[in-house]
Amino acid sequence: MIKLAPSILTADFGNLEAQIRAAEAGGADYIHLDVMDGRFVPPITFGPLVVEAVRRATSLPLDVHLMIIEPERHFEAFAEAGADIINLHVEATSHIDRLLRSIHAMHKRAGVCLNPGTPLSAIEEVAEVADQIMLMAINPGWGGQKFLPAMLPKLRRLKQMLDARGVAPDIEVDGGVKAGNIAACVGAGANVLVCGSSVYNREAAPRENLHDLRAAAGQPAPA
């Protein structure tokens, strides 16, 4: 079974609680929170205070994506704010192994993310430590970008690498996931799909969009 993780980046922040409840009622598996610091990526979004507010609005696991430099300085605040999964960029720290273990010490799931241009070898040595490996299918910073096609073979190579090592962390793909490419992502090995503008948009409500995405992925609707 795949997990759909709506990103609130394109949600209406003036009605955040209602937007999150709409995703939860529509069958979301996680809520994905994009934290940006204006340095690792150009935009600034939000910090632990918003994560804490989202925590109060839902019982779904919170999948927090830290697009910040020196995540070692801040991950504890996000853990305390109620994050369930803390995802760090391998490009943002020199000490990814230590950080993943520090997240475990706080009884949270630990994820590691790679930008499109970062080779898989950057995370090979922590494949046994990470609970989740996230491939960016866009250059991070903004929602609504187009999926980079070269990320499909990269997903397949990641799956092969993990199989060869005998480990099975979750494989998450983030950026540009839509009904038109979600089946290809799942076929290439992804089991956690971040969906931002394909869930929160002007065309349809989150429930309808989540239903369409799950159907396009060839998955039964949740009970």
- The contact set with ligand DX5 (CB under 6 A) reads 7, 9-10, 32, 34, 65, 67, 138, 140-141, 143-145, 174-177, 194-198
Interface positions, 34-73, toward Zn ion (CB under 5 A)? 34, 65
Q: Which residue lies nearer to ligand DX5 by CB, 158 or 194?
A: 194
Give the end-to-end CA distance of the chain in Å, rounded to a whole number.
12
82 binds, among ligand DX5, Zn ion, none (CB under 5 to 8 A by kind): none
Pick the piece of the chain touching Zn ion (CB under 5 A) from 28-36, 52-60, 90-98, 150-158: 28-36
Q: Which residue lies nearer to ligand DX5 by CB, 98 or 135?
A: 135
Q: Which residue lies nearer to Zn ion by CB, 65 or 108?
A: 65
CB-CB contact of 144 with 181 (8 Å) = no
Give the 3-state secondary structure of residue 136: strand
- Of the listed 29, 37, 63, 174, which one is catalytic? 174
Active site residue 34: yes
Q: In the complex, what is the shortest distance from the CB of residue 195 to ligand DX5, in angstroms, rounded to a whole number?
A: 5
HSE value, Cβ hemisphere, 13 Å, CA-based, for 43: 12
Q: Which residue lies nearer to Zn ion by CB, 29 or 174?
A: 174
Name which position in 48, 66, 174, 189 contacts Zn ion (CB under 5 A): 174
Active site residue 37: no
Q: In the complex, what is the shortest distance from the CB of residue 200 to Zn ion, in angstroms, rounded to a whole number?
A: 13
| Sheet arrangement for strand 62-67 | 3-6, 192-195, 170-174, 132-136, 109-114, 85-89, 62-67, 31-36
Distance CA 13, CA 9 (A): 9
Place of tokens 């998955």: 219
Using alpha carbons, select from 49, 47, 80, 94 the residue that is nearest to residue 66. Answer: 47
Active site residues: 34, 174
